[in-house]
A and B are shown apart, each in its own frame.
Chain A
Amino acid sequence: MDIKIKKIDEWRYLIPKTGAMRVPGLVFSSPDLAPNIKDDQSLIQVANVATLPGIIRYSLAMPDIHWGYGFPIGGVAAFDMDEGVISPGGVGYDINCGVRLVTTALMAREIRPRIKGLISELFKAVPTGVGSRGRIRLSRKEASEVALKGALWAVKKGMGTPEDLERTEDRGAMRGADPEAVSERAYKRGHDELGTLGSGNHFLEVQEVREIYDRRVAQVFNLFEGQLTVLIHTGSRGFGHQICDDFLKEMGTRVSQWGIELPDRQLACAPLKSELAGRYLSAMACAANYAWANRQILMHWTREVFERVLQISPADLGMELLYDVCHNIAKIETHLVDGRQMKLCVHRKGATRSLPAGHPSVPERYGTVGQPVLIPGDMGTCSYVLAGAQGAMEETFGSTCHGAGRLLSRKKAIEATKGRAIHRELEDRGIFVQSRGKTTLREEVSEAYKDVSLVVEAVHMAGLATKVAKMRPLGVIKG
């Protein structure tokens, strides 16, 4: 299939409606990034999503778009609650994969000489990779509690504070979770993985704030130049993977009975009005809650390691959660469509919510500036904090990008790094990395990713979120 793109302006590219597409595609990109996306299959995926029933306005893609499975990564699509569908593939296997940014009262320059010790202790405290079972074993009853209560479960166990919940999307617990909607297989996969990082692109990073772009917003976010921060990127682990898998199979076998024709089996879906869709949403919320508990626990252990290794009091450490966002999720939200408020099911597959100042779902303390939007880059470059913007409400159902986006396949990254010691290269640049998997660092090398700064520039210029601060890694642990 040959996809035609029409440039609207430097930041917007239209895929005109053709064939079975019900709406056009709209890709946010930039003159620097656009040439890359033409080479892979991600634009076909944007067009495929546009064929799903009940899709509203556009099949959208963010500047970090790349070839996924079913939906592209960086894809956003909203569906009418009456006519539309929900697709587990539009959320992804790693339900509520997301990031959490933790600020401290410390200056990075004070910590730099001790970074190796700190990273190696974090590596011991935070289980990484597969097969590394967590320090927590959940009974079946406790697992149901986690699924229902999310981050609150961890806080009740002493792993966090009520303020942490205030600063988590959906207060760390999505409504509508029903532990009974989750299969026993998912509970079995999830019973020893709570409090684990996982592998692939997941990480825990100690960073320094290097640049402030918007002083007013940075002040509200409590970010300042030279500050030490910690960014945690992980999701719902095997618990979420299994839930996605279970529902994809069930929807896959039933999709034809609803008369839905799919261009790709991975797009299996169910009408939002069906019992099956309701059951998926209830199970998906359980996985989202598991992920929030997971990131909450990892933050708590991080706090413990800092206090122990640096021999510092909680007050002097000043470790606080800035915000926690999910970037693989479907949410029922109200948006203005053609002048009327509509309840929609918004799929964000590798996309972050970006709510502007004054939106009722933004935590009160950020109410005047908008939601913190956290954009991790690759381990060798930098990450960004942005603030939600009105443009996102107008154009992308309150969504923006989620990261750098891959450029090279894992295979190509391995080939490109043949004979290179990536950990040494990074150390030469002042970034100390510890990882479990043999090939992880080579697969995750900077060249394998798009330049996150270009991605962030594209959403900033398109008005989908505004730049607030940039952080650079000092130390990273990976699976």
Chain B
Amino acid sequence: MNPSELTYQIIDHAADMGIIVQAADIKDLFMRAAYAMTDIMVEGDIKGKPVRRELTFEGEDLPDLMVRWLGEVLYLFEAEKLIVRDIEITSISEIGLESVLNLARFRGGRHQIAREIKAVTYHQISVERKDGEWEARIIFDI
């Protein structure tokens, strides 16, 4: 991950926490959202032997696709203790996404859990183009 890709704002939600991510194109938007979520969950240098995964799935529309995408990243972390290092989104449409992920295995000594995310919610989810730029708003259940 290039550090410049790690730009996001935190949404002030009473019980939980959300993010606003912006990018020039839709692939970047999805990538940045995944990096932002990882940044909220894990602290520490994400190094280690990379584990490669291909991830392909479908959704109803872009907001649904975003919830499912981040849900996949969260699942990989919780079920397999894999953290996103690099993402290549090979194709994306309104209803489908194909990607190749480079992940690192979570190690207690090297990484620290910053915050538990229980789920990626559909609450007030939006993925839209605003003034020529893509923007996504996502709220997590913490």
Contact = CB atoms under 8 A, between A and B. Distances in A.
A252 B116 contact: no
Given A89-B123, A252-B64, A265-B125, 17 more contacts: A68-B15, A70-B122, A93-B141, A94-B118, A130-B113, A131-B113, A185-B75, A189-B78, A200-B116, A200-B118, A244-B119, A248-B122, A266-B122, A408-B14, A409-B12, A412-B12, A439-B114
A238 interface: yes
A412 B139 CA distance: 16
Nearest to A268: B122
A248 B123 CA distance: 11
Interface of B: 10, 12-17, 41, 43, 60, 63-64, 67-68, 71, 75, 78-81, 106, 108, 111-116, 118-125, 139, 141-142
A69 interface: yes
Contacts of B120: 245
A178 B64 CA distance: 28
Nearest to B111: A131
A129 B122 contact: no
A188 interface: yes
Given A129-B116, A439-B114, A40 B121 contact: no
B27 to A, nearest CB: 23
Contact of B124 (A198, A241, A264, A408): A264
A69 B116 contact: no
Of the candidates A92, A200, A438, the one having the most CB atoms from chain B within 10 angstroms of its own CB is A200
Contact of A252 (B16, B80, B122): B122
A238 B108 contact: no
16 contacts: A42-B14, A67-B13, A67-B14, A130-B78, A130-B116, A185-B79, A189-B75, A200-B142, A241-B141, A244-B119, A264-B124, A265-B125, A407-B14, A409-B12, A410-B142, A436-B113
A437 interface: yes
B15 A67 contact: yes
Contacts of A194: none
A233 interface: no
B106 to A, nearest CB: 6
Contacts of A199: 113, 115-116
A32 B100 CA distance: 53
A411 B10 contact: yes
Contacts of B121: 69-70, 89, 93, 266
B112 A438 contact: yes
A189 B125 contact: no
Contacts of B125: 265
Contacts of A248: 122
Nearest to B43: A438
A253 to B, nearest CB: 6
A411 B142 CA distance: 12
A412 B13 CA distance: 9
Interface string A239-263: 0011011001100110000000000
A189 B116 CA distance: 14
B116 A409 contact: no
A406 interface: yes
A69 B123 contact: yes
Contact of A66 (B15, B78, B80, B118): B15
Contacts of B106: 131
B60 A252 contact: yes
A73 interface: yes
Nearest to B141: A93
A238 B15 contact: no
A70 B12 contact: no
A70 B113 CA distance: 27
A contact residues, range? 35 or more
Contacts of A70: 121-123
Contacts of B43: 438
A446 to B, nearest CB: 16
A242 B64 CA distance: 16
The 6 closest A-B pairs by CB, nearest first: A69-B123, A265-B122, A266-B123, A199-B116, A130-B116, A67-B14
A264 B141 contact: no
A247 B79 CA distance: 18
Contact of B114 (A253, A268, A411, A437): A437
Interface in A263-286: 264-266, 268
A402 to B, nearest CB: 12
A479 interface: yes
Nearest to A70: B123
A68 B14 CA distance: 8
B118 to A, nearest CB: 5
Contacts of B142: 200, 410
A280 B64 CA distance: 20
Contacts of A40: 14
B60 A253 contact: yes
Contacts of B71: 245
Contacts of A410: 16-17, 142
A265 B124 CA distance: 7
A93 B12 contact: no
A357 to B, nearest CB: 33
Contact of A479 (B80, B111, B116): B116
B18 to A, nearest CB: 9
